[in-house]
Homo-oligomer: A and B are copies of this chain.
Amino acid sequence: MKPSTIKIQTSQDYYESLKGRRLKVYLFGELVEEPSEHPMIRPSVNAVAETYDLALREPELASVISPFTGERINRFLHISTSANDLVLQNKMQRKLGQNTGTCFQRCVGMDAFNALFSTTFEMDKKYQTPYHERFVAFLTEMHRRNFVIGGAMTDVKGDRSKAPHEQADPDLFVHITRRTSEGVYITGAKAHQTGCLNSHWLLVMPTMRLGEKDKDYAIVGAVPVEAPGITYIYGRQSCDTRSMEGGSMDAGNANFGGQEAMVIFEEVFIPNPLIFMDGEYEFASMLVERFTCYHRRSYVCKSGVGDVLIGAAANIAEMNGADKASHIKDKLVEMTHLNETIYGTGIAASYQGYATESGAYLPDDMLANVCKHHVTRFPYEISRLAQDLAGGLMVTLPSEQDYNNPETHELLKKYLKGKPNIPTEDRFRMFRLIENMTLGRNAVGYLTESMHGAGSPQAQRIQIARFMQLEYKKRLAKVLAGIEVIDTEAMVEEAGSYFGRVFEI
């Protein structure tokens, strides 16, 4: 990694930085020439670009002064060293959700940076390894360049009942295949990686708890997105080809979209200075758990996306002339109630964050899981209510081409008219936005990714179970039922973990 020369400041800089990289990207059976300009990929690039623009428009919200370089950098690159830092991440996430109506794809990198910062610190402390120092050097360089970092975590996993080393095919989890004095070579594949193509660097990390025999799978390192040996196969989304049809209406949200790809590593080299874990398998779970703790609470972004959908539902009700009905207003209230619950539990996790040994702050695990668990339910209900308010036209509207075809334009303008003072085209566009967010391209991010990103619902339930301190609660009940007398000291001791934070002053 050579010293940086250019620092990305504007979305324009960012667009430029993506050009001319020799990426091997497959889409619809073909290699893509210039991925960042492909009409189906472009909206996901735009969403990341907005993270730069926001930092310029609202620097307090979306940028910080790097403690490593002393320069202003994007907040997505910052290591949180206070609860307030964690809260500000959430505020920025909600704003970006509002501005893009989609996944803006930078949280994985942010959360991976934060998790690695403290995990490398604790690894070094235990093993006198050089990982934290290396990582800080890499981080500093990323700050200098103000780069976008993607994560590469979710292995394809193969047979879920077997550990990595037990798989029939050892490549079903990314692992080290070869070592030299300069570094290591890795092979394997990471599935559904959000925002990989439009990043500058990828952080490769293990996807789950590892055992002693999985040592070669305990590899963390950084690789440039264009590293030799990487193949990207682009993932399809519902209604993805609408962005290739040429218009701006049927896409629903023509500017912004998410991105997910399969990232295949074939003997990809990681030089020693960019290796941040190598064989310390017992730290894999710490890394994964800290990452998911940050990341589950990062789903506060969906409250920003929810704001857009609530706004869209309110618009369409008005355009239909139905906004005065009491049940319509009541449904908007319910949508808001659910949406704010995501926000409220998320920022509570951040506010109740605590310092790790490295000084980096980690959100409260219980509340982070509670937040994410709501995210696996409430966007679906908000979406259902939005469809209720929209009415059936949302899924039976003729195509944009028919709307623009002179032979049918007047007919459609006449018959798709809702409230007299509202242009038919506006109503048309609003239907398409709701379709986009509840069935189409951005439903992928608002719904299915909300379900599985940062761990599926059952993963949160397992974590909630770990933190729910039943023994402490059982004792409370026994005291009130007259079975035991209260043992205050024991209670304080048992409080430990979650209740320790709840009752911390």
Q: Nearest Cβ in chain B — how far from A242, in angstroms? A: 8
Q: Please name all residues of chain B whose beta carbon is closer than 8 Å to the beta carbon of A474 when the two chains form the complex.
A: 311-312, 314-315, 318
- Per a CB cutoff under 8 Å, which of B154, B236, B264, B309 touches A399? B236
Asked if residues A233 and B27 are in contact (CB atoms below 8 Å), the reply is: no
Judging by beta carbons under 8 Å apart, are A233 and B391 in contact?
no
Known: A367-B340, A473-B307. A420 touches B159 (CB 8 A): yes
A234 touches B307 (CB 8 A): no
In this complex, the interface size class of chain A, counting residues with CB under 8 Å from chain B, is 35 or more
Question: Which chain B residues border A332 with CB–CB below 8 Å?
Answer: 465, 468, 470
Residues of B within 8 A of A3 (CB): none
Say yes or no: B314 contacts A396, CB within 8 Å. no
Residues of B within 8 A of A91 (CB): 502-503, 505
Q: Is the interface of A mostly helix, strand, loop or mixed?
A: helix
Residue of B nearest to A335 (CB): B468
A235 adjacent to B395 (CB under 8 Å) = yes
Asked if B476 contacts A311 (CB within 8 A), the reply is yes
Given the known inter-chain contacts A28-B399, A172-B415, A449-B392, please indicate yes or no for A480 contacting B255, CB distance below 8 A.
yes
Q: How far is the CB of A266 from chain B (nearest CB, A)?
A: 9
Beyond A443-B439, A461-B330, A473-B311, whether A260 also contacts B395 by CB under 8 A is yes
- Among candidates B238, B329, B426, residue contacting A239 with C-beta atoms closer than 8 Å: B238
A232-265 interface code vs B (CB 8 A; 1 in, 0 out): 0111111101100000111011111000111010
Q: A160-B321, A398-B235, A402-B233 are in contact. Are A315 and B29 (CB under 8 A)?
A: no
Interface presence of A192 (CB below 8 A): yes
Query: B418, A449: Cβ atoms under 8 Å?
Result: no
Contact yes or no, A505 B394, CB < 8 A = no
Does B367 contact A477, Cβ atoms closer than 8 Å? Answer: no
Whether A473 pairs with B308 at a CB distance below 8 angstroms is: yes
Using A29-B405, A262-B396 as known contacts, list a sample of 17 further A-B pairs with CB atoms less than 8 Å apart, ordered by residue number in A. Answer: A91-B505, A101-B476, A159-B419, A161-B321, A172-B417, A192-B395, A233-B408, A235-B397, A241-B241, A264-B411, A307-B473, A311-B470, A337-B370, A340-B366, A341-B341, A341-B374, A347-B348
**8 nearest A-B residue pairs (beta carbon):** A311-B473, A29-B401, A192-B396, A235-B396, A311-B477, A312-B477, A392-B452, A344-B345
